[in-house]
Structure 1
Amino acid sequence: MGTFMPASPPQTLYVQIRRDELRRLQDERDQLRQQVAQLNQLLQQAKALSQ
Structure 2
Amino acid sequence: MGTLMPATPTQTLYVSVRRDELRQLKDERDQLRQQVAHLNQLLEQARLQGKPASL
User: How many residues matched?
Assistant: 51
1:16 has 2:16 as partner: yes
Flag the 1:6–1:49 CA change in 2: closer, same or farther, 3 A.
same
Q: Which aligned segments of 4 or more residues in structure 1 are displaced greater than 6 angstroms?
A: none
RCO higher in structure (CA 8 A, sep ≥6): 2
Q: Which structure: greater helix fraction?
A: 1
| CA–CA distance in structure 1, aligned partners of residues 45 and 3 of structure 2 | 56
TM-score (norm 2): 0.81
Structure 2, unaligned runs of 5 or more? none
| CA–CA distance in structure 1, aligned partners of residues 3 and 46 of structure 2 | 54
| CA–CA distance in structure 2, aligned partners of residues 40 and 30 of structure 1 | 15
Residue 6 of structure 1 and its aligned partner are, at CA, apart by: 1.4
TM-score (norm 1): 0.86
Residue 46 of structure 1 and its aligned partner are, at CA, apart by: 0.1
